[in-house]
């Protein structure tokens, strides 16, 4: 099999699968009535009157819209089998089939010797460019590199000297040139890629506009360069011209996996199975079936395995590959994916055995080492991952992808010098790779960053306005370090050996490139282990998140850094996120409480397998949020029930290689099932304390409503209780959270949505009965700060603003309000505390800095005031007033002395 085909899916493409704004159709060809409509342009060709029936059948097969009658011919059925990914269809074993289709099937099955045996029988005009490409691929797979190079030289000579008049043959020539470039390296650098793209454009635009293999070959080339948008367009064109092209779907599926579009990837797995399956219900099973009697679908199995690895389910990946490997035990790509799955279980001895099996099949191939290195890098196993990727570069020094993956690993590991060296090597081999170019540009840019060091951190930032935040980070980071690595409940109790790098990226694009090599990531901070990258918390043309509580976010990410160091990242996914959420030391969000209460009441809390799946394969929009919330809830339960040492002991068991059932039994003394049963009992008590379930002796609101409707008699089944009815129930059940919520809602309806002074008592009662709901606090703040209201009393708003501020992550507005209220009462210490919080959440807001300086002066803290005024000079260097204020401050300091 050609090297590019073998490792086609190993490049990260990060493609959003809504191609050109509309989803790619997933309908395969079916015989007769079940087949999809022909592409319009192909249909027009089929309607051409001079075509014979045989020619029309050939066209239908070529474009994946065959009929059952078309496939009665062995040659056409074999061609269709290659297109739909059914590599061992009986027709491919028939001597009447095209020998090139038979040879390609042997190659795809991992039988290069058999492929060569067929190809060597070809003579004269039978030795086409396709035949040469297949010959070179088979030779290379057998470890016969020199022979492959010689064959490809012959192919290159024919492509360059003989003007090709067949689009389909020219495409084969380009694919052969791509293989040559991967084996030997690009002979003319960037010109090689441009030349291949020009040939494909000629095939598509001048020779045959219906040649679907031309845009497919373009997609392969572009995906290899991580050029997502143009690869998407090319794939769309290919699938429009051939809706049964399994290879195109397979590439699309790999892009889905790499972009975390798991739902789309699952659909494509199903589509690939359908394509490779029986052509009609009455058809006898083809030769290649596994024990369950299902036809083998290698593309589907390999894509499913890639998907499971990305979802941190390596055992599931191994299982997914079993049908294909049972039928095609020498299939190199499947074996490489298997090795990557084994590596993801951290069993490196078994990984090396898997790689040795690949070497026996294809001596010296880099594909297994490339797959393993990439998988380990994704698992944050940087030292081991680098070792395997370095071996891939040794085996294939001209293969740009190996250098790219090695460089990106080093980027994640914050080993910038090594990253720069690998990426520069990759650039020399492949100057068109978007991801490598992005990362190389980043490395060069980061080299110009300034740095500030503290005991445990290195803060790197782009000179300019980001100094305003960067210089304030070290003391906050050191407090985070003490909490996360310390021994207070929830602390990981694991001091790090080296310093953690915090990179303050100036905008979202550079943050995304630092994390993935591509400019789109939907978050604002991420830890890769020894490095935490964060987007500057400000608004701007290239900034997407605006202000955010960066200290809380970094505390979450730094927890990942510490648990990674303590356990080598060998933790269940839910446990990793649970420890980080728990250590945010922040109140639980109301939205999370609602999700958890709903899951409890509907008996849809995840079990300990389902919660891991929910992170990567959510079935509902709320699944990921529930997984985060429930994980932290279970972590809190472990600390509460078993003590703060218990999570740490679990981490150590995971690090030692224990699986979760053994770790729970050893540390907690219970099975996972018993743990979940006892957790649910505790969770119910928690919900009662949160006011999300009735207390003992309290009726359900729905029961009260049903009883009331029954008393009213017939015709009142849809009636809703009035405010008077609800208040009557409250007199019988004071403190009932659901009744208090209903009373608040009904009063607001009565007052046009605005809170009124007579609501204060019910709002305060509701707030006490359901302490997590922010709505009564917001309504009370509105009342107490309304100067036109008889209830106007700013001092009473403070308690409620404190509640809201403690839960606010994306705005400094509550902190600013609190600072001004405290200042009005001349409580300068409290005002200073809130002014500082406003400057932390929104550090680039000049107004926050000015007010903080004012408060500092009122506190006679002239050093703090100077700091804020100096920060204003950094933020607004073109405003001379800040220098004037600094001079005035010095005069004030002298006068005070």
Query: Can you give the pLDDT at residue 17?
Result: 32
296, 278 in Cβ contact below 8 A?
Answer: no
Query: Can you give the pLDDT at residue 895?
Result: 86
Gap between the Cα atoms of 130 and 4, Å rounded: 15
846-858 and 828-841 helices, crossing angle to 10°: 160
Gap between the Cα atoms of 286 and 785, Å rounded: 77
Gap between the Cα atoms of 316 and 308, Å rounded: 6
Q: Where are the beta strands (DSSP E) in 463-551?
A: 500-505, 525-527, 531-535
| The total number of residues written for the chain in this structure | 897
Gap between the Cα atoms of 480 and 499, Å rounded: 13
Query: Can you give the pLDDT at residue 38?
Result: 59
Q: What is the DSSP string of 551-586?
A: HHHHHHHHHHHHHHHHHTT-S-HHHHHHHHHHTT--
542 three-class SS: coil
Question: Among 256, 215, 214, 261, which Cα is nearest to 235's?
Answer: 215
Residue 629 to residues 113, 159, 592, 599, 691, Cα–Cα distance (Å): 55, 60, 6, 11, 18
Query: Can you give the pLDDT at residue 625?
Result: 95
Question: Among 29, 85, 79, 612, which Cα is nearest to 301's?
Answer: 85
Q: What is the DSSP string of 130-141?
A: HHHHHHHHHHHH
Query: Can you give the pLDDT at residue 280?
Result: 61
Mean pLDDT of successive 10-residue stretches along the chain, which has 897 residues: 32 30 43 52 90 95 95 96 95 95 97 96 93 97 95 94 91 95 78 91 94 96 87 92 96 90 92 88 42 75 96 93 97 98 95 97 96 94 96 94 94 90 92 86 89 97 96 98 93 94 86 61 75 89 84 96 91 94 96 97 95 86 95 97 96 92 96 97 97 93 93 87 95 95 96 95 97 97 95 96 97 97 97 97 96 96 97 95 94 85
Residue 31 burial class via C-beta count within 10 angstroms: exposed 0-12, middle 13-18, buried 19 and up: middle
635, 547 in Cβ contact below 8 A?
Answer: no
108, 87 in Cβ contact below 8 A?
Answer: yes
Q: What share of the chain is helix, strand, coil (3-state, %, to 5)?
A: 65, 5, 30
Gap between the Cα atoms of 220 and 178, Å rounded: 10
Query: Can you give the pLDDT at residue 618?
Result: 84
Q: How far is CA 615 from the centre of its chain?
A: 10
621 three-class SS: coil
Residue 687 burial class via C-beta count within 10 angstroms: exposed 0-12, middle 13-18, buried 19 and up: middle
Please tell me what DSSP assigns to residue 789: S
Residue 333 to residues 106, 336, 389, Cα–Cα distance (Å): 14, 5, 17
Query: Can you give the pLDDT at residue 602?
Result: 96
pTM for this predicted structure? 0.83
Gap between the Cα atoms of 636 and 690, Å rounded: 15
298, 273 in Cβ contact below 8 A?
Answer: no
Gap between the Cα atoms of 90 and 627, Å rounded: 47
836, 862 in Cβ contact below 8 A?
Answer: no
pLDDT digits (tens, 9 = 90+) for 195-228: 999 999 999 999 999 999 999 999 999 999 888 7
């Amino acid at each position: 099999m050609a090297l590019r085909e073998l490792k086609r899916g190993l490049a990260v493409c990060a493609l959003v699968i809504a191609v050109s704004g509309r989803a790619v159709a997933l309908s395969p060809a079916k015989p007769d009535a079940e087949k999809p409509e022909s592409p319009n342009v192909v249909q027009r060709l089929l309607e051409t009157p001079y075509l014979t029936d045989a020619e029309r059948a050939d066209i239908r097969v070529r474009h994946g819209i065959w009929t059952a009658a078309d496939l009665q011919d062995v040659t056409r059925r074999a061609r269709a089998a290659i297109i739909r990914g059914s590599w061992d269809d009986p027709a491919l074993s028939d001597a009447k089939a095209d020998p090139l289709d038979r040879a390609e099937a042997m190659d795809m099955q991992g039988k290069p010797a058999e492929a060569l045996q067929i190809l060597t029988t070809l003579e004269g005009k039978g030795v086409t460019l396709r035949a040469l490409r297949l010959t070179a691929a088979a030779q290379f797979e057998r470890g016969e590199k020199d022979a492959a190079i010689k064959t490809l030289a012959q192919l290159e000579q024919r492509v360059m000297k003989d003007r090709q008049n067949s689009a389909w043959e020219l495409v084969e020539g380009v694919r052969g040139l791509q293989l040559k470039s991967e084996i030997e390296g690009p002979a003319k650098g960037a010109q090689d890629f441009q030349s291949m793209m020009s040939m494909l454009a000629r095939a598509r635009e001048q020779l045959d506009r219906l040649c679907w293999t031309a845009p497919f070959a373009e997609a392969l080339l572009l995906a290899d360069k991580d050029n997502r948008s143009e690869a998407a367009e090319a794939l769309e064109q290919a699938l429009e011209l051939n809706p049964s092209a399994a290879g195109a779907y397979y590439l699309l599926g790999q892009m889905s996996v790499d972009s975390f579009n798991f739902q789309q990837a699952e659909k494509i797995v199903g589509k690939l199975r359908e394509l490779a399956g029986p052509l009609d219900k009455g058809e006898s099973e083809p030769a290649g079936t596994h024990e369950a009697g299902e036809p083998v679908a290698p593309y589907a199995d390999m894509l499913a395995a890639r998907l499971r690895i990305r979802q941190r389910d390596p055992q599931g990946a191994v299982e997914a590959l079993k049908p294909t490997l049972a039928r095609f035990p020498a299939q190199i790509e499947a074996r490489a994916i298997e090795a990557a799955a084994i590596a993801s279980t951290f069993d490196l001895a078994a990984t090396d055995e898997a790689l040795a099996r690949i070497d026996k099949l294809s001596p010296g191939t880099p594909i297994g080492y490339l797959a393993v290195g990439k998988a380990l890098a994704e698992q944050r196993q940087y030292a081991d991952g680098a070792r395997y990727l370095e071996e891939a570069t040794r085996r294939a020094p001209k293969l740009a992808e190996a250098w790219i993956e090695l460089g990106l690993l080093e980027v994640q590991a914050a080993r910038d010098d090594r990253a720069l060296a690998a990426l520069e090597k990759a650039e020399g081999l492949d100057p068109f790779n978007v991801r490598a170019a992005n990362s190389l540009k980043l490395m060069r840019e980061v080299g110009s960053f300034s740095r500030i060091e503290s005991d445990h951190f290195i803060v790197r930032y782009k000179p300019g306005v980001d100094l305003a935040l960067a210089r304030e980070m070290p003391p906050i980071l050191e407090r985070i370090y003490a909490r996360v690595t310390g021994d207070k409940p929830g602390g990981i109790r694991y001091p790090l050996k080296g310093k953690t790098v915090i990179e303050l990226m100036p905008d979202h694009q550079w943050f995304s490139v630092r994390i993935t090599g591509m400019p789109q990531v939907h978050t604002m901070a991420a830890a890769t282990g020894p490095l935490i990258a964060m987007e500057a918390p400000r608004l701007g043309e290239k900034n997407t998140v605006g202000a955010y509580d960066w200290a809380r976010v970094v505390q979450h990410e730094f927890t990942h850094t510490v648990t990674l160091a303590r356990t080598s990242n060998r933790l269940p996914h839910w446990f990793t996120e649970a420890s980080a959420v728990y250590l945010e030391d922040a109140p639980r969000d109301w939205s999370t409480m609602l999700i958890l209460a709903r899951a409890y009441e509907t008996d849809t809390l995840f079990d300990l397998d389902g919660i891991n799946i929910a992170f990567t394969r959510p079935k509902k929009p709320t699944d990921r949020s529930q997984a985060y919330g429930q994980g932290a809830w279970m972590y809190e339960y472990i600390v509460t029930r078993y003590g703060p040492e218990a999570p740490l002991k679990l981490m150590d068991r995971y690090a030692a290689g224990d699986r979760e059932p053994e770790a729970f039994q050893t540390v907690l003394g219970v099975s996972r099932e018993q743990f979940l049963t006892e957790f649910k009992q505790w969770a119910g008590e928690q919900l009662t304390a949160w006011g999300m379930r009735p207390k003992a002796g309290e009726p359900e609101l729905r029961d009260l409503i049903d009883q009331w409707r029954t008393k009213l008699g017939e015709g009142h089944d849809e009636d809703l209780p009035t405010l008077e009815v609800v208040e009557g129930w409250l007199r019988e059940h004071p403190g009932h959270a659901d009744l208090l919520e209903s009373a608040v809602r009904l009063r607001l309806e009565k007052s046009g949505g605005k809170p009124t002074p007579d609501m204060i008592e019910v709002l305060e009662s509701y707030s006490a009965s359901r302490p997590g709901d922010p709505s009564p606090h917001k309504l009370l703040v509105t009342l107490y700060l309304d100067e036109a209201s008889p209830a106007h009393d700013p001092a009473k708003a403070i308690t409620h603003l404190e509640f809201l501020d403690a839960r606010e992550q994306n705005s400094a507005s509550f902190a600013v309000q609190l600072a001004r209220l405290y200042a009005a009462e001349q409580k300068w210490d409290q005002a200073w505390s809130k002014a500082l919080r406003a400057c932390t959440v929104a550090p680039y807001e000049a107004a926050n800095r000015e007010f903080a300086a004012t408060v500092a002066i009122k506190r006679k803290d002239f050093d703090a005031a100077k700091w804020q005024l100096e920060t204003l000079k950094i933020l607004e260097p073109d405003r001379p007033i800040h220098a004037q204020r600094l001079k005035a401050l010095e005069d004030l300091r002298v006068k005070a002395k």
